[in-house]
Structures are given as C-alpha cells and as structure tokens.
C-alpha cells in the first residue's frame, strides 16, 4: 500500500509530542512573539507608525527648511564681499553722474562750438577734421544737442562734397544720417 506523505502540521505535532516526552522546551522565535503578545505587538506597531508619521510630517519638512535656511545663509555670506563691491560701484557711478551733470552744459557748448567751427572750414581742412566731426555728431545725437539749421546744412554740404576715399568719410556720413534721423528731426 502506498505510503501517505505526512503534512507539515502532522510533523509539527509529532515533533511537539517528542519534545514534551523528552522534556525539551523549544525556544520561541521572534516571529512567535506577536502571536503570543497581541496587545504589546499592536502597541509597538502603533508607536512605530506614529514615529514614522512624525518623521515625515514634522521632522523631515523642518530638516529641509533648516537645510534651505543654511544654504541661503551660506550664499548670503559668500555674496557679502560682492555686494559691498557693487555698493561701492553704485556710489562711484552716482558721483560720476553728478559730475557729468555739472559738465553737461559745457559739453553741449563745446559740441555746438566745434560743429559751428567745422561747418565754417574750407573743404580741404574739413576733410582733415572728419574724425572730429564724426565724434561731435555722435555726441550731439547721444546727448540730444540741437544744432542750428545753418550748421546742419553747411555740414551736410561739406560732407557731400568730401571725397568718399577720405579717412572717416563713411563713418562721418553715417553719424550725420544718425543725427538727422534721431527723433528731434522726424
């Protein structure tokens, strides 16, 4: 007759019976503890869950906020010398701007005088002064200096009569066009 294979449960009973007969007390494994101590296991599980919840809802966000604050503090500390330099540059620029504002009427007077003088030059001398005329026209456009109509007309005719191969001819022609097309003439 074929022999039946014993089941795990029947083997466990037989082993228990042999152990009792011999007086051997088997040690419980850690996995048996929750089964034997249900109330304590539930309390321990709830405590672990509460600690995990506290970690993710309170401590972790606080830790991230602290890390961000520390990073921000380090950046601000590293930026202090740069910010100080920027502050000094701003102060210097403000001083230069006030000095330039003081000089502005003199610059306008000088540009007008140079343009009037250039417009009155003979053609040969005018060709030699094209770099100066170019610079004065650029300054007049940039600083919104209005030249007299006579000066503008004389400069245009002098530039038109100059040779295109003269040094700074094309640059000066461009400066004159830029000056004439600036908003005050349109």
- At residue 7, the 3 state secondary structure works out as coil
For 9-19, what is the mean pLDDT?
A: 82
Q: At what angle do helices 60-119 and 130-142 cross, to 10 degrees?
A: 130
- Rounded to 5°, angle at Cα 122 from 121 and 124: 115
pLDDT in tens, 70-109: 899 998 888 888 888 999 999 999 999 888 888 889 989 9
- pLDDT at residue 54 tops 90: no
For 4-25, what is the mean pLDDT?
A: 81
pLDDT at 169: 92
Burial label for 134, CB within 10 Å (0-12, 13-18, 19+), is buried
pLDDT at 35: 77
Q: How many CB atoms lie within 10 A of CB 97?
A: 10
- Biggest CA–CA distance in the chain, Å, is 139
Percent of the chain's residues with pLDDT above 90: 38
Report the range of poorest mean pLDDT among 27-31, 46-50, 51-55: 27-31
pLDDT in tens, 129-175: 999 999 999 999 988 899 999 999 999 999 999 989 988 999 999 99
**Token pair listed for 63:** 């830790």
* Averaged confidence pLDDT in the chain: 87
Query: Which residue do the tokens 């001819």 mark?
Result: 169
Cα gap 101→93, rounded to integer Å:
12
pLDDT band per the 50, 70, 90 thresholds, residue 15: confident
Instruction: Name the DSSP letter for residue 1.
Output: -
pLDDT at 122: 92
């Amino acid at each position: 007759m074929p022999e039946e294979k014993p089941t795990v449960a029947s083997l466990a009973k037989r082993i228990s019976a042999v152990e009792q007969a011999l007086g051997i007390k088997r040690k419980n494994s850690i996995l048996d503890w929750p089964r034997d101590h249900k109330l304590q296991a539930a309390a321990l599980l709830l405590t672990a869950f509460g600690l995990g919840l506290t970690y993710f809802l309170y401590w972790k966000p606080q830790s991230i906020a602290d890390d961000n604050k520390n990073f921000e503090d380090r950046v601000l500390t590293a930026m202090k010398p740069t910010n100080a330099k920027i502050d000094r540059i701003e102060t210097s620029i403000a001083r230069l701007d006030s000095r330039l504002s003081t000089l502005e009427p003199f610059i306008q007077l000088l540009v007008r005088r140079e343009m009037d003088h250039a417009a009155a030059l003979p053609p040969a001398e005018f060709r030699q002064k094209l770099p100066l005329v170019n610079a004065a026209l650029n300054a007049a456009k940039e600083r919104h200096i209005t030249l007299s109509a006579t000066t503008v007309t004389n400069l245009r005719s002098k530039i038109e009569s100059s040779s295109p191969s003269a040094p700074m001819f094309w640059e000066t022609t461009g400066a004159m066009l830029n000056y004439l097309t600036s908003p005050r003439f349109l």
